[in-house]
Amino acid sequence: MTASPIPLAELNACSKADFVAALANIFEYSPWIAEKAADARPFVGIAQLFEAMQAAVERAPPELRLALIKAHPDLADKTQRVAGLTLESNAEQNSAGLDRLSDAEYTAFQRVNNAYRARFGFPYIVCVRRHTKDSILRDFEKRLPNDAAAETATSIAEICRIAALRLDQAVRADDRLPVHGRLSTHVLDTHSGRPAAGIPLELVELSALGESRVIVRMTTNHDGRTDQPLIGGRPVPIGNYELRFTVAGYFAERNVALSDPPFLDVIPLRFAVAEPEAHLHVPLLVTPWSYATYRGS
Amino acid sequence: MTASPIPLAELNACSKADFVAALANIFEYSPWIAEKAADARPFVGIAQLFEAMQAAVERAPPELRLALIKAHPDLADKTQRVAGLTLESNAEQNSAGLDRLSDAEYTAFQRVNNAYRARFGFPYIVCVRRHTKDSILRDFEKRLPNDAAAETATSIAEICRIAALRLDQAVRADDRLPVHGRLSTHVLDTHSGRPAAGIPLELVELSALGESRVIVRMTTNHDGRTDQPLIGGRPVPIGNYELRFTVAGYFAERNVALSDPPFLDVIPLRFAVAEPEAHLHVPLLVTPWSYATYRGS
Amino acid sequence: MTASPIPLAELNACSKADFVAALANIFEYSPWIAEKAADARPFVGIAQLFEAMQAAVERAPPELRLALIKAHPDLADKTQRVAGLTLESNAEQNSAGLDRLSDAEYTAFQRVNNAYRARFGFPYIVCVRRHTKDSILRDFEKRLPNDAAAETATSIAEICRIAALRLDQAVRADDRLPVHGRLSTHVLDTHSGRPAAGIPLELVELSALGESRVIVRMTTNHDGRTDQPLIGGRPVPIGNYELRFTVAGYFAERNVALSDPPFLDVIPLRFAVAEPEAHLHVPLLVTPWSYATYRGS
Amino acid sequence: MTASPIPLAELNACSKADFVAALANIFEYSPWIAEKAADARPFVGIAQLFEAMQAAVERAPPELRLALIKAHPDLADKTQRVAGLTLESNAEQNSAGLDRLSDAEYTAFQRVNNAYRARFGFPYIVCVRRHTKDSILRDFEKRLPNDAAAETATSIAEICRIAALRLDQAVRADDRLPVHGRLSTHVLDTHSGRPAAGIPLELVELSALGESRVIVRMTTNHDGRTDQPLIGGRPVPIGNYELRFTVAGYFAERNVALSDPPFLDVIPLRFAVAEPEAHLHVPLLVTPWSYATYRGS
């Protein structure tokens, strides 16, 4: 993940051995998938490359698909962490905060791993970059009652999502895989009819079991937006969030008469993300005495 | 406070001794105020009775006014609590939660008491029924830099507010003292254009130092309102609040298509109360994808 | 209609002849209905009286019901107007503006009358107090394709609505028939967080064929409401309306900085009324740069 | 105006005579301004070219500036129209609708022309592309009481605005003069939390004296926006507008339960434009039972 991405043209032109070496861990410990895909070269784009890899998985015999599933680590497993996760797998688990679990969370994840493995004989697999800790546990509750066939299919689907994200980071092409979402905001001061500049805000990931976690702190620019999206260039993890704006100082600086204490100061907008690859816009329309928000796009 | 209120007519008709006995602690340990007021009988209403008592305070010589101030207990003082607060004073301090302070809060209150007493030679007096713990500490920060004359005046004003609230509870008349505020809400479902019935909500008093505290839990009725005001029949304490509505279940029951997890579920409205005697209305206009609030009346 | 209402007690106590005389025209030119109802005296309330009259209609043989239908005048018929409408019928038709039709409207109504009478052999009957001119014509388009049985039933239902409104005006009792609706508004200035007082507004009934008509002009009071409902004490006629608020002067008087010309001045809210007996609340939340409205209650 | 724009490089390179010929009517019948500017060649951009022309005007002696003012036609003058407006001037007056005045409007404009000319001895000049008929008359009322010095300055300023717009159309360069504004909208369906596609809308220019005029009819695209701005690539004329959305069909097609007639169908947003060169965004947030708008950007 730390290496700079390889141009697709290079992958199209290199030896099969180099191709396989470069993409060996796109699917966890499963270079055979890259091997199959190599035969379909050249690719006009990264989407076509990914399709070829996905096709290899889909056409593989059941034993091989099961082996692919079993090649994956348990979630948040401290033992495996010390031993040997792929670099990719380690970075992914950290992205969801699985490297800094509270004791209660660690216990919950252990329970999930064990219950799932006991029932299905393979690890609980989920594309963690698309999730928060809460939604991983929530999905588990939904998936545990399923039968083995359904969970095999779901595991393969999650593995493909993991692979798509790895491929997106490993290869550079003219096209992009649709693996990134975006979370943005906008503050409009409807008291003076202009964008609200200089509003401090923070995005917090809420957690049912552990501590809420500040994802980012920013300040609105002259257009009432943030210079960078709140979350961008990656999936927006499924989960519960609170976006907190601090507005009283903004109005006070503009000599707007406020009550003491001001009726509104920290304004929390609490919402859930359900589609990690979508663009979710959560704006704030605000006066010192009113506000509104909505799911925009 | 536990006794039922005395009719004003009875106070107008009884002996002076009985009158003074009945109103001895309207002003803390200061029956002389009731004595002065007794001479102005009969009163046409409770407002006139209160004016007479207030006038007695205002006309009293400085030493007596200072004695009145010094008759008051320190805030949240554990020693005095064991010894001898008036019943009235004890109930008032409990109303603001001063009987269940966290260690950090207790330390903060001790600091306030001591710093204030060291500077002015009399206790820090505030009408606690009009305040939350946070706003008591916040007001202290504002008042400490004042000079003695200003603080003497402020203390007397606070004492009169305390007295008005005690009188309101002690005496029944055709008129009422303007000592009560009201906090209300209303949930309008703008998705279906009707009041939102059956929405669970809770009102939380926020605290900078200690734990937030749930003041009340209610459910909206068929008119989208609560059967009782969130706070009513008393001052609405100055401070910071969060009103939390839980809306996803309401929409799900009506078969409205929601995302998973639902974009909106718990909706927190965070606001401050600045005028304890006013009617503050904080409504929610809500769809599964948007909401708005404003300071109404 | 101009006479003051008769107390129900009086109707309960008087001779049958007086009872029938008093209620002879509750159903147009059909005293036999009052006669039937007279036998059910005494009535505990006006609702029970109305039920007795309605039951008489429902139990009447088909010929009599048809005669009742045929006893009604054509809508907006200039010939009948000169000759002999009941006073009640005349006042009702005027309420919907049928006494001041434009030429295009008059032609449209003539067409309705003739087409309907040609098809069914009886006049087109609708409770005009519950309608605007537009909705009378709109309902006609819906009803004309019906069969005779359906239109007989609908005509009787409309006749009962007419009768209920006449009875409501003719008789005074402790209970009221549910024949009145209400249209109200409220202007909240979310720029300063208080009710907007002194806002001029007008309610206009829109017309597809003729001229729009100002129903009422009012100014908001200190509470941001109107002293009287926009429409009250009668059905709110089904139809299209525009409520127009003039807000720029309000903000200018409060020294709020506005653009030139002001971004918002006359704010039209266009909406339809569908339930004449309901309470419809159409508020305005407004700053100089934004506004919102919703169907409230 | 109909000729295609000349590249700035060409104007930098050509003979002085050709330069002057090309820009002779940028200032009405006043080629001397282009002549002065020619000496400052080459220009790095159109902004610098315009500055040079403006500087020539500013440095000209008073008599010449007055002659420039007098070179302009009366507004909406039918006689001059037949005779000899420049093509540019004719097109500009048509843009504001001055070629299709109602009788009342024509009379009003004649009054303006005559009153102004009688007072100042030169024609009433305004950059009509930045105005509606209403705002031309409104500005006249403001300007007529001014003294001659003020009106000379204002006339020159308006002439420079006219020239900037002509230059923008006549010359092509890498930079653009800041003479264009934009009016845009966006419809968000907050009932289903997505952009409202397929909403018909029309933009109407309101007129105090004459007929309102539909500027454009459009339908929202899949993103809830219009493919083209409502007004773009030119100044947004100062004046009063109504943007009308028709929404009931949109909700009905999506099987949303509506009242009959629907509470909301045609939604008019009435607003004024004050800054022709700004971007004004007037969105609609709408459910079948509520809507909101605001001045966005």
Whole-angstrom Cα distance, residue D45 to residue D168? Answer: 11
CATH label of the domain that carries residue B140 = 1.10.3330.10
Answer whether C240 sits within 8 Å of D263, measured CB to CB: no
Answer whether B194 sits within 8 Å of C294, measured CB to CB: no
Share of chain C above pLDDT 70, in %: 95
* pLDDT per position as a tens digit, B146-157: 999 999 999 999
Nearest to D26 by CA among D62, D64, D56: D56
Task: Note whether A8 and A19 are within 8 A (CB).
Answer: no
Task: Note whether B247 and B199 are within 8 A (CB).
Answer: yes
Stronger pLDDT, D88 or A27, i.e. the higher one: A27
Interface of B with A (CB under 8 A): 135, 138, 238-240, 242, 259-268, 270-272, 274-275, 289-295
Domain for residue A1, yes or no? no
Residue A24, helix vs strand vs coil:
coil
Going by pLDDT thresholds of 50, 70 and 90, the confidence category of residue C1 is very low
> Which domain, by its residues, includes D49?
6-172
Q: Return the minimum-mean-pLDDT range out of A85-99, A239-253, C226-240, D174-188.
A: A85-99
- Residue B73 pLDDT exceeds 60: yes
Domain boundary (C139, C172, C205) is at: C172
Instruction: Count Cβ–Cβ pairs < 8 Å, chain A vs chain C.
Output: 32
Please give the average per-residue pLDDT across B184-204, as a whole number: 97
Whole-angstrom Cα distance, residue C127 to residue C136? Answer: 9
Domain for residue B1, yes or no? no
Give the largest Cα separation in chain B, rounded: 72
**Exposed / middle / buried, residue A228 (Cβ in 10 Å: 0-12, 13-18, 19+):** exposed
* B188 and B166 assigned to the same domain: no
Going by pLDDT thresholds of 50, 70 and 90, the confidence category of residue B74 is confident
Residue B270 bridge partners (DSSP): B242
Q: How many CB atoms lie within 10 A of CB C132?
A: 25
* A122 and A225 assigned to the same domain: no
* D75 and D150 assigned to the same domain: yes
Task: Note whether A31 and A161 are within 8 A (CB).
Answer: no
Q: Which residue is closest to B285 within chain C, CA to CA? A: C294
Q: Which of A135, A261, A294 has its CB closest to that of B274?
A: A261
Give me the amino acid identity at A9: A
- C-alpha distances (whole Å) from C168 to each of B83, C125, C162 are 69, 20, 10
Q: Which residue is closest to C259 within chain D, CA to CA? A: D274
Task: Note whether B28 and B156 are within 8 A (CB).
Answer: no
The residue assigned the tokens 């009948």 is: C80
Task: Note whether B62 and B199 are within 8 A (CB).
Answer: no
Q: Which of D135, D240, D266 has its CB closest to that of C270?
A: D266
Contacts of B286 in chain A (CB under 8 A): none
Rounded to 10 deg, the angle between the B31-38 and B16-23 helix axes is 140
Answer whether A270 sits within 8 Å of B268, measured CB to CB: yes
Nearest to A92 by CA among A125, A126, A128: A128
- Residue A1 pLDDT exceeds 50: no
Test mutation, B133, B134, B295, chain A, max A CBs within 10 A: B295
Paired tokens of A175 = 């096209």
- Residue D1 pLDDT exceeds 50: no
Going by pLDDT thresholds of 50, 70 and 90, the confidence category of residue A233 is very high
Predicted pLDDT at A102 = 80
Predicted pLDDT at D79 = 52
* D191 and D127 assigned to the same domain: no
* A105 and A237 assigned to the same domain: no
Whole-angstrom Cα distance, residue B193 to residue A208? Answer: 33
Q: Which of C285, C295, C296 has its CB closest to that of B294?
A: C285
Answer whether D272 sits within 8 Å of C295, measured CB to CB: no
**Exposed / middle / buried, residue D285 (Cβ in 10 Å: 0-12, 13-18, 19+):** buried
Contacts of B138 in chain A (CB under 8 A): 261
Strands (E), D196-238: 200-205, 213-219, 231-234
**Exposed / middle / buried, residue A31 (Cβ in 10 Å: 0-12, 13-18, 19+):** middle
- Residue D159 pLDDT exceeds 50: yes
Mind telling me how many Å the CA of A247 is from chain B's nearest CA? 12
* pLDDT per position as a tens digit, C138-167: 999 999 999 999 999 999 999 999 999 999
Alpha carbon dihedral A93, A96, A101, A107, in 10-degree steps, equals -80
Rounded to 10 deg, the angle between the B133-143 and B103-120 helix axes is 30
Mind telling me how many Å the CA of A204 is from chain D's nearest CA? 22
> Which of A70-79, B91-100, C269-278 has the highest mean predicted lDDT (pLDDT)?
C269-278
Residue A175, helix vs strand vs coil:
coil
* D160 and D102 assigned to the same domain: yes
Domain for residue A219, yes or no? yes
Domain for residue A190, yes or no? yes
- State yes or no: cis peptide before B262, omega within 30 of 0: no
Going by pLDDT thresholds of 50, 70 and 90, the confidence category of residue A26 is very high
CATH label of the domain that carries residue C272 = 2.60.40.180
Nearest to C179 by CA among C187, C168, C191: C168
Task: Note whether A236 and A164 are within 8 A (CB).
Answer: no
Domain boundary (D172, D194, D227) is at: D172
Answer whether C290 sits within 8 Å of A190, measured CB to CB: yes
Whole-angstrom Cα distance, residue A154 to residue A120? Answer: 12
- Apex CA B240: angle with CA B234 and CA B244, to 5°? 90
Whole-angstrom Cα distance, residue D197 to residue D177? Answer: 34
* B212 and B281 assigned to the same domain: yes
Predicted pLDDT at B183 = 98
Nearest to D68 by CA among D136, D153, D169: D153
Answer whether C289 sits within 8 Å of D267, measured CB to CB: no
Nearest to A242 by CA among A224, A217, A222: A217
- Residue A65 pLDDT exceeds 60: yes
Beta-sheet pairing, D181-184 with D200-205 = unpaired
- C-alpha distances (whole Å) from A256 to each of A264, A283, A287, C196, D142 are 13, 22, 10, 18, 31
Please give the average per-residue pLDDT across C110-122, as a whole number: 93
Test mutation, D187, D188, D191, chain B, max B CBs within 10 A: D191
Give the largest Cα separation in chain A, rounded: 72
Whole-angstrom Cα distance, residue A13 to residue A41? Answer: 9
Mind telling me how many Å the CA of B41 is from chain A's nearest CA? 39
Q: Is the four-CA dihedral B38, B44, B48, B49 of positive or negative sign?
A: positive
* D21 and D61 assigned to the same domain: yes
Contacts of B247 in chain D (CB under 8 A): none
DSSP-derived secondary structure letter, A192: T
Q: Is the four-CA dihedral A248, A251, A255, A257 of positive or negative sign?
A: negative
Task: Note whether D41 and D19 are within 8 A (CB).
Answer: yes
Q: DSSP readout, C23-83? A: HTTTSTT-HHHHHHHHTT---SSHHHHHHHHHHHHHHS-HHHHHHHHHTSPPTT-HHHHHS
- Residue D102 pLDDT exceeds 90: no
Domain for residue C61, yes or no? yes
Predicted pLDDT at A291 = 98
Predicted pLDDT at B158 = 97
Domain for residue B250, yes or no? yes
Answer whether B292 sits within 8 Å of A292, measured CB to CB: yes
Which subunits sit against C, judged by 3+ Cβ pairs under 8 A? A, B, D
Please give the average per-residue pLDDT across C42-68, as a whole number: 96
Answer whether D264 sits within 8 Å of C272, measured CB to CB: yes
Going by pLDDT thresholds of 50, 70 and 90, the confidence category of residue D99 is confident
Answer whether B289 sits within 8 Å of A272, measured CB to CB: no
Predicted pLDDT at A263 = 98
Whole-angstrom Cα distance, residue C70 to residue C137? Answer: 20
Contacts of D294 in chain A (CB under 8 A): 188, 190, 193, 285
Among the residues of chain A, which ranges form H helices? 8-13, 16-23, 31-38, 46-59, 62-70, 78-82, 87-95, 103-120, 133-143, 148-170, 248-253
Answer whether D287 sits within 8 Å of B287, measured CB to CB: yes
Nearest to A111 by CA among A97, A94, A124: A124
Mind telling me how many Å the CA of B297 is from chain D's nearest CA? 20
- Apex CA B144: angle with CA B142 and CA B145, to 5°? 85
Domain for residue D1, yes or no? no
Whole-angstrom Cα distance, residue A109 to residue A133? Answer: 9
Whole-angstrom Cα distance, residue A295 to residue A282? Answer: 5
Q: Is the four-CA dihedral C226, C228, C233, C239 of positive or negative sign?
A: negative
* C135 and C205 assigned to the same domain: no
Stronger pLDDT, B88 or D38, i.e. the higher one: D38
Domain for residue B297, yes or no? no
Stronger pLDDT, D93 or B66, i.e. the higher one: B66
* B154 and B185 assigned to the same domain: no
Mind telling me how many Å the CA of D225 is from chain B's nearest CA? 19
Provide CB contacts within 8 A for A109, sequence distance 6+: A75, A76, A98, A101, A136, A137
Answer whether D261 sits within 8 Å of C270, measured CB to CB: no
Provide CB contacts within 8 A for A107, sequence distance 6+: none
Test mutation, D263, D267, D281, D286, chain C, max C CBs within 10 A: D263
Domain count, chain B: 2
Domain boundary (B172, B202, B232) is at: B172
Residue C277 bridge partners (DSSP): none
- Residue D174 pLDDT exceeds 70: yes
Predicted pLDDT at D80 = 55
Which subunits sit against B, judged by 3+ Cβ pairs under 8 A? A, C, D
Instruction: Count Cβ–Cβ pairs < 8 Å, chain C vs chain D.
Output: 74
Which subunits sit against D, judged by 3+ Cβ pairs under 8 A? A, B, C
* pLDDT per position as a tens digit, A168-206: 999 999 999 999 999 999 999 999 999 999 999 999 999
For chain B, what is the radius of gyration of the CA atoms? 23
Contacts of D292 in chain A (CB under 8 A): 292
Contacts of B249 in chain A (CB under 8 A): none
Q: DSSP readout, C75-124? A: TT-HHHHHS---HHHHHHHHHTTTTS--HHHHHHHHHHHHHHHHHHSS--
Nearest to B186 by CA among B223, B217, B221, B225: B225
* A195 and A135 assigned to the same domain: no
- Residue B78 pLDDT exceeds 60: no
Mind telling me how many Å the CA of C226 is from chain B's nearest CA? 15
Share of chain D above pLDDT 70, in %: 95
* pLDDT per position as a tens digit, B204-213: 999 987 789 9
Mind telling me how many Å the CA of C228 is from chain D's nearest CA? 23
Paired tokens of A12 = 């199209």
Task: Note whether A137 and A116 are within 8 A (CB).
Answer: no
Q: Which residue is closest to A192 within chain C, CA to CA? A: C289
* A249 and A281 assigned to the same domain: yes
